[in-house]
């Protein structure tokens, strides 16, 4: 099963005998909130999910977007109508990061059928509605561990045996600027791989073979372990999704740079090279 779905495919499935549950995860780093945009127009039947409040735990030592409590996450998904035996499609405003976070969380929690709308809302050609649905409660109960999750120690060790990709912008990787976290730079041994290079000018994922070539050039050949981190575990999920499209399994260091850089004892590398 492909982890993404085109707008035309979704339009067809939404009118079929087994329409997917739709989750609207519009989110932008630093705001504005996604709920007003959702209320102004969304895919018919879509339920809004708040990334900061429902797809993450309280910020703290675990980073800006630590994973949510599994039971709390399960309750949010059930209220949204998510069941274990029904497909789910998630979308956002077009950047793809919020949708990828929801995709990764559901897959990590054991849901077998989750896809991201390629290109997000901007790619949708069907009607929009302001009607907020009240779905029948679902039955999904998380079983965490279906996807590889790294902690800080595992991320630190990975460059010695595999490949650790940094999905942030190259200038943040180098440490030229750091607009959010305590210090700039990257985890020693990590390779710069900005998430923005996984999509085209319209926000659609590049073809699988193009992504495969991109990641192979960075050292992801499928022969060694691969994992991704970013600022707080959101855009990193987008890179894990791109790797999956390319046929390369990858783990996620969800705490990411916001967790790593919060501890002054952890080493920091700067500049364009891994170490």
236 is a catalytic site residue: no
Which residue matches tokens 């791109």?
242
CA atoms within 13 A on the CB side of 97: 21
Contacts of 175 (CB under 8 A, 6+ apart): 183, 184, 185, 186, 268, 270, 271
Which residue matches tokens 């901007």?
122
Q: Which of 55, 77, 199, 230 is catalytic?
A: 230
CA 63/CA 229 separation, integer angstroms: 12
**Three-class SS of residue 93?**
coil
Report the sign of the C-alpha dihedral through residues 248, 253, 254, 257, in that order. Answer: negative
Under a CB-based contact definition with an 8 Å cutoff, are residues 231 and 254 in contact?
no
**E strands, 64-203, where?**
88-91, 114-117, 149-150, 163-166, 191-192
Q: Which of 270, 254, 3, 34 is nearest to 152 (CA)?
A: 254
Our measurement of the distance from residue 271's CA atom to the centroid of its chain's CA atoms, rounded to an integer in Å, reads: 26
Q: Which of the residues are catalytic?
A: 230
């Amino acid at each position: 099963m492909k982890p993404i779905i085109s707008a035309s495919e979704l339009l067809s499935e939404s009118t079929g005998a087994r329409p997917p549950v739709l989750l609207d995860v519009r989110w932008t780093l630093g705001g504005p909130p996604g709920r007003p945009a959702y209320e102004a127009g969304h895919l018919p039947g879509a339920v809004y999910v708040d990334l900061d409040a429902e797809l993450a735990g309280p910020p703290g030592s675990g980073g800006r977007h630590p994973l949510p409590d599994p039971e709390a996450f399960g309750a949010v998904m059930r209220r949204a109508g998510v069941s274990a035996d029904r497909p789910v499609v998630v979308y956002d405003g077009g950047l793809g990061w919020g949708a990828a976070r929801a995709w990764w969380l559901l897959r990590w929690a054991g849901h077998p059928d989750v896809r991201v709308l390629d290109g997000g809302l901007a790619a949708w050609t069907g009607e929009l509605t302001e009607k907020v649905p009240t779905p029948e409660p679902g039955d999904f109960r998380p079983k965490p561990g279906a996807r590889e999750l790294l902690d800080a120690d595992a991320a630190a060790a990975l460059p010695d045996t595999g490949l650790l990709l940094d999905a942030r912008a190259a200038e943040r990787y180098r440490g030229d600027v750091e607009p959010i976290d305590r210090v700039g730079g990257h985890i020693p041994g990590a390779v710069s791989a900005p998430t923005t290079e996984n999509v085209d000018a319209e926000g659609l994922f590049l073809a699988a073979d193009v992504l495969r070539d991109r990641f192979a050039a960075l050292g992801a050949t499928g022969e060694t372990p691969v994992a991704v981190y970013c600022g707080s575990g959101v855009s990193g999920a987008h890179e894990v999704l791109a790797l999956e499209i390319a046929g390369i399994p990858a783990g996620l260091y969800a705490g990411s740079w916001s967790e790593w850089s919060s501890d002054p004892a952890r080493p920091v590398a700067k500049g364009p090279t891994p170490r």
